[in-house]
Every structure is written in structure tokens, then in C-alpha cells.
Chain A
């Protein structure tokens, strides 16, 4: 079993990464309340196990595409917190020079092909990344993260069919958090188990508990290995839950406090991994505190970096529309 082979070091790195996502986003929400983080903010809090479980298999040369809820994917793929926070602050030192914001963070140097403001916008990009890998015969893979809402859009069908028939090295990872924006999935989809759609495309469909990072890690490992072997795509569905609203400030009138509390108290993926690590004798109270403290310091440094960074000057306006200036 894959988990048995996980070293203590790797497990603690995954645990640290989940805290990094959680605390980064809690800070981003705080900074949003202070008017420092600008624009729309969609947090991944509660879903950390998915990005971390999947990305723990990936190399910097592998590709991922993300969604409007993209901070977790960025961090799990290894993005720099300073440049991420600076982007949320709209600063020149941000990943996109302040031209993208929360919904458009990318880091092409580590194969992170961008968060995407269009629901299902990542399907084509990931499929194309898979095509590039296949043409080169490089053994690289592409992972397409998407939500349950995106499964109702056309690109889901078109791209999974294309990747299946071309046997592209792509893993389509559905983060089924059961709400498409403010609408429960069951109101808009009869087939709420997205993995069950896979047989229609002739590819494996696998469903895992997306609140269990080790389960995600194991299932993703098989799907990624299959892709690397040239056997084609897999549809991996991770059942998960968004602890906060669709966006920061969402009054969440569409679900009950009891439902939210139930998930947060009983199924928090970080608490769950912590319990496992403690049971294995891999995590003491002191270590746990040290990990969280280290992450807090990284985030404080990121906020300082963002605050001290300049806004983009006016001459940035016309740069990057093309590789040259077109008036």
C-alpha cells in the first residue's frame, strides 16, 4: 500500500502543507476584512487534503490547472507565499504583477498553469498540457482540479472524451464539495457521484474520501502512475466540504450551521491527519506547535512583503497584452 511507504518526513511535509494552506487563507480573509486583500476571495479551507494528497506525487515539471478556489493548489504545488500574498494585495511583486488577483495566480516555473475564473476553464489547458507531455514522451502528467459545478459544463465532456481517446496523461480531480457556488449539487445534478460518469468515457472512475489526505494520496498515486505509464486519464472524485462560504462574506443562507459544524468538528482533514500522526508516534504537541509556528512566520513574512511592495505603475497597463506593444 502506498501509505505504508510514506516516510515520516513526507507525512510531516504534507501535514505542514495543509497548515500552510489553512493559515494562509485565514490570513487572507483577515486581510480582506481589513481592505488589504482586494477583490473576490474564494477559500479552500476544509479541502486541503485534496490538493496536498494529489500534489505530493508531482514534480515541478508536472502540470496542474486550478479553479477560482485556487490558493490550495498553488501552495501544494510549491508556490511562493510572498508572491501569492502580494498578488492578493494587487502589488507589482505578485505572481502576476497585480494583474491577476486571487482568481488568476499562476507559476509557470513550477508547472502551475493558473487558477481560472471560468468554471471548467482548466479542462482544455490540462488536456493540452497532457498532449504536450505525450508528444514529448517525457513522462510528465497534468492534473486538472475542478469542482462539482464544473462537471455540468461542456468542457468536462469534450476534454475527458478527447483525453480518453488519445490516452493522454491527465488526471481529472473532482473536488466535490457539494455546492456549486450557492446551490446544492443535488438540486442541479441527478448523478451526484461524479466518478460514476467515468465509464461513459471508457476510463477508470475512482471515488475517495476527500477529507482523508492519505486516501487521496493513495488513489491519486495510482491514477498518476497510470497516466505516466501511458494508459490514459482517470477521473478521481474526492468528496469534500468547503468550511467557509463560496466567497469571503457569503452569508451562507443555503446550508445550516449544524451541517457546517458537523463537518468542521468531525471531519476536518488537518485534525484527522494530526490524529493519525500522533497515533503513529510521529507528532508530539511540541512538534505540532512548532510546525504551526513556522507556518505562521512564513505567512507573516508574506504579509510584510506584500505590504512593503509597490503597486504596479501606470506603465504596466499596456505591458503583457502581447509580447510586444500594440496600440
Chain B
């Protein structure tokens, strides 16, 4: 199977779907000139010059316009340069995009894909490094997608582009250059279907985004000691594949939930609470969370490196659970 980067996988999904569906339209800041801050849309203009447009630095107008166009037969893909900047468009995301189907009694589809580069990427500090999945998970009406591999990124983007509801598509910046196997040809990954990235019998790690890779690293280290870790990647947080998560917990009886969000009221809290509610009898130990420090991202590398959990934190957490 050919290896492609996470960035290319997203771009390929966009290009293939634009070929298939002429209503797809891309908008965002610098999406032509630079391909967006991380060059994801680079080259799309050359193939579809009338179906990609760069906007003023006007996040509220980007999202609002995307939503309006989606109500009128267009399928917009809007990029917000950094998830941090979506704060400038939260009315459009929360009060318009998420609510239009419901408050208008189901009269319309709202097929918007909002691409949001997220997470720490070294030395860009507090306003360019956040992981805000929990905000979107909390709002009924939004679907929240967090791919962790190029394969998932492509298949989930294709599903997003064929759906009828708004999609918050979280792209972890540190994953953009990561390569992985992606088959040639068309495939989709349904929302609400978790992927077991590694099977194991002793401890479950529910991980999203870049924490999936770290969980697999931790599993590798622990395997050398005879500890078998199961890594479950929900891939979409809304809808959430509770069945696969619960089944894994029933198998291993111990669970860690990990993501790159600030720990307080992060998505890990929601998943941990669901497990506590639904699988209490299956647990041999309390649910454990491994997430980011509750601080704005500091600039200095000596501080930044302390914020986001590493594989070693997961190794320690597994040992604690088994201890």
C-alpha cells in the first residue's frame, strides 16, 4: 500500500470528492496563496480554480458564509487557520451552524465541514496551540471528528463530505507530516465507529488524535514486560462508539482515557464518566485520565514540554492501574 502523509490524505480526500461532487467549495484565509498555514489545500486551486476562494481575515464571515451557502445547495469546506481563532466565530458555530436544523424543525440540511488545525506544534504559545474538542462535543448539533492516522483522515473526510450535518474536523498539526498506509481508490469510514488500533487483554487506553500514537508507543514498551494494552481510538467524539469502548473495558477491566485537551472538563472527562456510569461493575480499578495540564500553553520549550502527556506518562499510568 502506498504511504502518504496526513496532510496529503486530507488533500486527496478533498480533491477526489471535488471531482465527484461539484457542489464542494473551499474557503478560508490564505487557502490558495499558501494552501492554508499548513499547506493542506496547496494545489487545489490549480485543479479547481473556481471552487476555492481565499477570504479576508474574518472568521465570523467565513463560518457564517459557509453556513449560509450550505443552506442554499453548496457544500462548503471552511478552514479556520488555527482552532484558537474559531473563538471569533463561535456565534456562527454554536448558534447558527449547530442549531439551524433543529430550531427550524428539520427543514434543511447543514452540510458544512469546518477544518480546524489544533494542538501544540512547538513554540507558538497560548493562542495557537489549543485543543478545544470538548467545546464542540458539548454542543448538540455538531459532529466532532478527530483522525489520528492518514488512513482515518482520508476516510473520515470523505464521510464528512457526503453527510448532511455540520462536521467539526480536528486536524492535529503535529500529525500533518506523519506518513501512513492509505489504499488507492475510494473508501469511507463511518462516523461513530471506533477503531481498535491494537488489541490487548490487560488495560484499555482510549486515545484520540496524537495520543493514539503515544498510546501505541506505550503499548510497545509494556509488551516487553508482558503487559498487553488495548488501544481504542474513537475517531469521532460525536457520535461516539460507546459499544466498542465499553466492550474493551469489559474485556480488560482497567481503562485510561487520554487526549491532548486540558484535563479539566476535557473530552476525557466525558468518556471517563460514561464508563463509570455504564461499566462500573466491570472495573477492577478507578478510571484514569491522562490529559494536558490545565494551563495556557507556555512559550519556552522547557515549559511547553511539560504540558502535553507523553508515552511515558501512559506507561506510568498503566503500571499504576495494574499495581
Chain A positions near chain B (C-beta within 8 angstroms)? 63, 65, 94-100, 104, 106-109, 113-114, 116-118, 121, 123-133, 135-136, 142, 154-155, 158-159, 161-162, 165-166, 319-323, 326
Check A121/B68 contact, CB under 8 A, given A162-B56, A323-B109: no
> What are the residues of chain A within 8 A of B53 when measuring CB–CB?
166
In B124-182, which residues have CB < 8 Å from any A CB? Answer: 140-141, 143, 163-165
- Closest Cβ of chain A to B168, distance in Å, is 13
Check A322/B165 contact, CB under 8 A, given A99-B103, A124-B61, A161-B56: yes
Nearest residue, chain A, Cβ from B89: A124
Known: A132-B71, A161-B61. 9 other contacts (CB 8 A): A124-B92, A125-B68, A128-B67, A128-B68, A132-B73, A135-B50, A155-B60, A162-B65, A323-B164
Cα of A320 to Cα of B105 in the assembled complex, Å: 6
Asked if residues A97 and B68 are in contact (CB atoms below 8 Å), the reply is: no
B69, B70, B165: residue with the most chain A Cβ atoms closer than 10 Å: B69
Cα of A109 to Cα of B71 in the assembled complex, Å: 11
B61's contact among A136, A142, A162, by CB below 8 Å, is which? A162
Asked if B25 is an interface residue, CB under 8 A from chain A, the answer is: yes
> What are the residues of chain B within 8 A of A100 when measuring CB–CB?
103-105
Binds A, one of B93-101, B215-223, B260-268, B276-284: B93-101
- Closest Cβ of chain A to B162, distance in Å, is 12
Cα of A161 to Cα of B164 in the assembled complex, Å: 29
Cα of A264 to Cα of B117 in the assembled complex, Å: 54
> What are the residues of chain A within 8 A of B238 when measuring CB–CB?
326
> What are the residues of chain B within 8 A of A97 when measuring CB–CB?
105-106
Number of interface residues of B (CB under 8 A): 44
Chain B positions near chain A (C-beta within 8 angstroms)? 25, 50, 53, 55-56, 58, 60-61, 63-74, 76, 91-92, 95-96, 100-109, 140-141, 143, 163-165, 192, 238-239
Asked if residues B64 and A108 are in contact (CB atoms below 8 Å), the reply is: no
Cα of A118 to Cα of B107 in the assembled complex, Å: 19
Asked if residues A158 and B58 are in contact (CB atoms below 8 Å), the reply is: yes
- Closest Cβ of chain B to A116, distance in Å, is 8
> What are the residues of chain B within 8 A of A63 when measuring CB–CB?
72
> What are the residues of chain A within 8 A of B101 when measuring CB–CB?
320-323
Cross-chain pairs A/B with CB under 8 angstroms, 10 sampled: A118-B95, A121-B96, A124-B63, A158-B56, A161-B61, A162-B65, A322-B143, A326-B143, A326-B238, A326-B239
Please give me the 8 A-B residue pairs with the lowest Cβ-Cβ distance, nearest first.
Answer: A124-B64, A128-B68, A96-B105, A320-B106, A132-B72, A158-B61, A125-B68, A128-B69
Nearest residue, chain B, Cβ from A111: B72
A319's contact among B50, B55, B71, B106, by CB below 8 Å, is which? B106
> What are the residues of chain B within 8 A of A155 when measuring CB–CB?
60-61, 64, 91-92
Cα of A108 to Cα of B100 in the assembled complex, Å: 11
> What are the residues of chain B within 8 A of A121 when measuring CB–CB?
91, 95-96
B71's contact among A99, A129, A166, A320, by CB below 8 Å, is which? A129
Asked if residues B68 and A126 are in contact (CB atoms below 8 Å), the reply is: yes
Nearest residue, chain B, Cβ from A61: B72
> What are the residues of chain A within 8 A of B74 when measuring CB–CB?
128, 131-132, 135
> What are the residues of chain A within 8 A of B140 when measuring CB–CB?
321
B64, B70, B72, B192: residue with the most chain A Cβ atoms closer than 10 Å: B72
Cα of A245 to Cα of B25 in the assembled complex, Å: 43
- Closest Cβ of chain A to B169, distance in Å, is 16
